[in-house]
């Protein structure tokens, strides 16, 4: 049997009465790689989707790229709000899967989807009706504002669809169905590339709509993905969810979701809100700086793709181990995953720094953008170890139920160090984007060190969300 199939089905073959030893043996045979490789492809494709959008928009103009980069800062915050339910649901589902409680898995999914649908509709409405005040924060030029307004109207107005996509992605992965998410991501990317090409270049008689076309393509791909994901969810869930159950919130499951979701989303929200303010600082530096930031960050996301996949896989794996009571084994496996992530991420950052001018030249011919961007990619080599450590360790802590500590440390560091230093170095001292990147480096490293100390303290071992009468026995034997 293939490793991925073994992972998907092995837990269902365990007799609950003999769970502790058999679950331990089964979970220890499951490699982190078997969970992570489909997630790696999925995350790579998600990154590619953003990369392709920016690359194709560069054929329209650098101004179009800058405008969409600003809008995406706002949309990312919306996605973070959706993640409070999706992330919390994923952790709770993973622990229930590890504890072999399929009815609780289904109930958790139903509650999370209803919560995110409500959030999605409200946030989509806000992005439609308040888009002009939101965009006004950035003091964009008339040309940039026109591009941004169109993109916000179409993509922002369809964010409730993205809320459903994120939630189903999370619950499918938490159950071990990572291949399903991978296949859907492949389909989304293929359709997105086709749609972008048709609308940007006016191929096959399709109207040449530029930014509007990219927005339509993005929204349409998400809608199709949502429909496919609903179908896959009903195929994969062990205890079928009745339609009426989607509209019946149950306090015990909502509480568990919020226990992880609110702090977890809070950490992401703090990060993206701080980045939004830093983007406001960068607008002071002009369109060249905005475009440089967008191009450079796109490459940064490319090299952190493996770390993102590892952090997602780690969250599923650690969650199931903790749900089964195997906390000592979970402690050791986190470090193994972190070492691999650091090796891959730093190697990628070095390659990107060495050939930085070439890669940036694929996007633009503006020599000022290329020169500044190349320096930022070199600084990125030193940022990457801190960023990777944060992604992996925070996911492991969250999966174990320790969600509050990362958000408390994150808020203090992101605002006290990243934002403050970005303004001081980048604007006040006049170091520009280089000063901003140095501020990001300091923030990532300080948080990474604190997260490692937290994991080593093992305080998270007493924070599991699932009560399991066999847990103590399994814990002592791990």
For 301-311, how does the pLDDT look when each residue is reduced to its tens digit (9 = 90+)? 777 777 777 77
Output the CA angle 141-143-148, nearest 5 degrees: 90
CB contact set of 80 (below 8 Å; sequence gap of 6+): 265, 268, 269, 271, 272
Q: What is d(CA 379, CA 433) in angstroms, rounded to the nearest whole number?
A: 11
pLDDT in tens, 257-267: 777 777 766 77
Q: Report whether 47 contacts 302 (CB < 8 A).
A: yes
Low-confidence ranges of the chain (pLDDT < 50): 1-20, 23, 25-29, 468-478
- Length, in residues, of the chain: 478
CB contact set of 350 (below 8 Å; sequence gap of 6+): 381
Query: Residue 55 burial (CB < 10 Å; 0-12/13-18/19+)?
Result: middle
In order, the DSSP letters of 227-263 are: HHHHHHHHHH-SSPPPGGGGG---HHHHHHHHHHHHH
Taking only Cα atoms into account, the Rg of the chain, rounded to an integer number of angstroms, comes to 22
First to last CA, the chain: 26
- Phi/psi-derived region of residue 203, left when phi > 0, alpha when psi is between -120 and 50, beta in every other case: beta
CA 182 to chain CA centroid, nearest Å: 15
Measure Cα distances from 200 to 48, 175, 192, 290 in Å.
18, 39, 12, 22
CB contact set of 192 (below 8 Å; sequence gap of 6+): 49, 52, 53, 217, 218, 221
Half-sphere exposure of 35 (CA within 13 A, CB side): 27
Query: Residue 346 burial (CB < 10 Å; 0-12/13-18/19+)?
Result: middle
Q: What is the DSSP letter of 468?
A: -
Assigned token pair, 227: 């429909």
Q: What is d(CA 109, CA 113) in angstroms, rounded to the nearest whole number?
A: 6
Half-sphere exposure of 99 (CA within 13 A, CB side): 23
Assigned token pair, 412: 């203090």
Q: Report whether 351 contacts 429 (CB < 8 A).
A: no
Structural element, H or E, at residue 81: helix 62-98
Q: Sign of dihedral through CA atoms 341, 343, 346, 350?
A: negative
Look up the pTM and report it: 0.66
Q: Report whether 150 contacts 212 (CB < 8 A).
A: yes
CA 438 to chain CA centroid, nearest Å: 23
Q: Report whether 163 contacts 225 (CB < 8 A).
A: no
Q: What is the DSSP letter of 204?
A: G
């Amino acid at each position: 049997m293939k490793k991925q199939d073994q992972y998907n089905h092995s837990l269902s073959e365990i007799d609950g009465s003999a769970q502790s030893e058999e679950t331990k043996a089964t979970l220890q045979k499951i490699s982190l790689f078997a969970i992570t490789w489909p997630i790696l492809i999925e995350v790579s494709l998600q990154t590619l989707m953003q990369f392709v959008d920016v690359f194709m928009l560069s054929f329209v103009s650098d101004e179009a790229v800058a405008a969409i980069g600003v809008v995406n800062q706002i949309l990312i915050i919306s996605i973070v709000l959706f993640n409070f339910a999706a992330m919390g649901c994923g952790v709770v589902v993973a622990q229930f899967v590890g504890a072999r409680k399929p009815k609780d898995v289904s109930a958790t999914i139903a509650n999370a989807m209803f919560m995110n649908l409500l959030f999605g509709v409200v946030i989509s409405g806000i992005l439609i009706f308040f888009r002009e005040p939101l965009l006004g924060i950035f003091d964009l030029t008339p040309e940039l504002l026109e591009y941004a307004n169109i993109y916000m109207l179409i993509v922002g107005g369809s964010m409730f669809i993205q809320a459903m996509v994120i939630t189903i992605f999370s619950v499918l992965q938490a159950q071990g169905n990572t291949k399903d998410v991978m296949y859907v991501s492949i389909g989304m990317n293929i359709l997105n590339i086709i749609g972008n090409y048709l609308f940007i270049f006016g191929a096959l008689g399709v109207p040449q709509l530029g930014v509007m076309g990219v927005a339509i393509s993005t929204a349409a791909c998400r809608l199709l993905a949502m429909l496919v994901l609903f179908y896959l969810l009903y195929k994969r869930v062990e205890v079928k969810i009745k339609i009426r159950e989607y509209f019946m919130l149950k306090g015990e499951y909502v509480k568990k979701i919020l226990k992880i979701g609110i702090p977890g989303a809070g950490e992401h929200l703090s990060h993206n809100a701080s980045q939004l303010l830093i983007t406001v600082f960068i607008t002071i530096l002009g369109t060249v700086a905005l475009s440089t930031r967008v191009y450079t960050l796109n490459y940064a996301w490319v090299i952190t793709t493996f770390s993102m996949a590892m952090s997602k896989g780690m969250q599923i794996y650690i969650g199931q181990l903790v749900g089964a009571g195997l906390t000592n084994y979970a402690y050791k496996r986190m470090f193994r995953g972190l070492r691999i992530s650091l090796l891959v991420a730093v190697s990628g950052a070095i390659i990107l720094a060495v050939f930085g001018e070439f890669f940036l030249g694929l996007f633009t011919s503006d020599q000022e953008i290329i020169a500044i961007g190349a320096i930022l990619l070199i600084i990125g080599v030193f940022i990457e170890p801190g960023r990777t450590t944060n992604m992996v360790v925070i996911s492991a802590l969250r999966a174990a139920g320790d969600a509050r500590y990362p958000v408390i440390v994150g808020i203090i560091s992101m605002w006290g160090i990243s934002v403050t230093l970005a303004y001081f170095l980048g604007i006040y001292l006049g170091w520009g984007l280089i000063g901003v990147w140095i501020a990001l480096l300091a923030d990532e490293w300080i948080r990474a060190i604190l997260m490692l100390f937290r994991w080593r303290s093992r305080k998270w071992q007493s924070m599991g969300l699932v009560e399991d009468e066999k847990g103590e026995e399994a814990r002592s034997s791990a």
